[in-house]
C-alpha cells in the first residue's frame, strides 16, 4: 500500500507527534512517519521518536545567520529524506512564504483554538478571559498568513465555569490527539489520489 512519506516538525513535548506516530502504526493508515525534525536539541519528543525507530534530526535555528538559511537546511534535509508532506506539531518557528510555497498543499499545522478565533499564542487564556463557552482545536493547511490557512478539521470542547487555562488546555489536547491523525489521513488520501 502506498503511504505518504511524512515528516513531523516539533519544538518541545511532542504529544501530537506521538499521536501521529501511533496512528501511523496501523497497516491501513495512509501516511508513514519517516522523520521527526526539531529546531532545538532539547525537544523532549525526540526521545520518543528515536525510541520508536524513526529518524530524528536537529536543525538548530540558532546555528544559522538568517531565517532563510535555517529553512534552506531544513528543506534540504526533508528533500534528502524524500518527504512528501509535513505536519507541524508544536513547531515554534514561523516559516517564510518562500519555504511554504515549496510545500504548497502539503504542509499542515495543529492550532489550539477554533480558527479563525484566537490565532497566535495563549489561546486558552484568551478564551477564558473572553468568557467563551466553546473552544477547541483546528488542523489547517499552512499558508503565509500565520494560523490563517484553510481548515481541514476542527473539534469543539466546552469551556466550564471553573476552568483554568491548564485544565482547558488538557481538554483541548485530548481532541488534538484525536483529530490530527484524522486530518493527516485526509491530506494523505488527497495527495495520493493526485500522485498515485
Displacement of CA 76 from its chain's centroid (Å): 19
Cell numbers 503511504 correspond to 3
Give the Cα separation of 75 and 99 in Å (integer).
8
Residue of 6, 8, 9, 14 interacting with ligand GRF (CB under 6 A): 14
Of 11-19, 21-29, 46-54, 79-87, the window that binds ligand GRF (rule: CB under 6 A) is 11-19
Angle (CA) 61-76-35 rounded to 5° is 80
Residue of 6, 24, 59, 90 interacting with ligand GRF (CB under 6 A): 90
Which residue, 153 or 173, is less far from ligand GRF as judged by CB?
A: 173
Cell numbers 468568557 correspond to 131
Cell numbers 525510541 correspond to 51
Give the Cα separation of 36 and 78 in Å (integer).
10
Inter-residue contact 46 to 56 (CB < 8 Å)? yes
Inter-residue contact 97 to 132 (CB < 8 Å)? no
Binding mask 100-119 for ligand GRF (x = CB under 6 A): ----------xxx-------
177 is catalytic: no
User: Which of these is catalytic: 61, 111, 140, 189?
Assistant: 111
Residue of 176, 181, 183, 187 interacting with ligand GRF (CB under 6 A): 176
Residue of 3, 12, 81, 165 interacting with ligand GRF (CB under 6 A): 12
User: Interface with ligand GRF by CB under 6 A: which residues?
Assistant: 10, 12-16, 89-90, 110-112, 137, 173, 176
Residues with a catalytic annotation lie at 111
Amino acid at each position: 500500500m502506498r503511504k505518504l512519506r511524512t515528516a513531523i516538525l516539533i519544538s518541545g513535548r511532542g504529544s501530537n507527534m506521538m499521536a501521529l506516530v501511533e496512528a501511523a502504526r496501523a497497516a491501513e493508515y495512509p501516511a508513514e512517519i519517516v522523520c521527526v525534525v526539531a529546531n532545538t536539541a532539547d525537544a523532549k519528543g525526540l526521545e520518543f521518536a528515536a525510541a520508536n525507530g524513526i529518524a530524528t534530526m536537529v536543525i538548530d535555528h540558532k546555528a544559522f545567520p538568517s531565517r532563510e538559511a535555517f529553512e534552506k537546511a531544513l528543506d534540504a534535509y526533508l528533500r534528502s529524506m524524500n518527504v512528501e508532506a509535513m505536519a507541524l506539531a508544536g513547531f515554534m518557528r514561523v516559516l517564510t512564504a518562500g519555504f511554504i510555497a515549496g510545500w504548497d498543499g502539503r504542509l499542515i499545522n495543529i492550532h489550539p483554538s477554533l480558527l479563525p478565533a484566537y490565532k497566535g499564542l495563549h489561546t486558552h487564556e484568551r478564551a477564558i478571559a473572553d468568557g467563551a463557552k466553546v473552544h477547541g482545536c483546528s488542523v489547517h493547511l499552512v499558508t503565509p498568513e500565520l494560523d490563517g490557512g484553510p481548515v481541514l478539521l476542527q473539534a469543539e470542547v466546552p469551556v466550564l465555569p471553573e476552568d483554568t487555562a491548564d485544565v482547558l488546555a488538557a481538554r483541548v489536547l485530548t481532541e488534538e490527539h484525536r483529530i490530527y491523525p484524522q486530518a493527516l489521513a485526509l491530506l494523505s488520501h488527497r495527495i495520493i489520489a493526485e500522485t498515485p
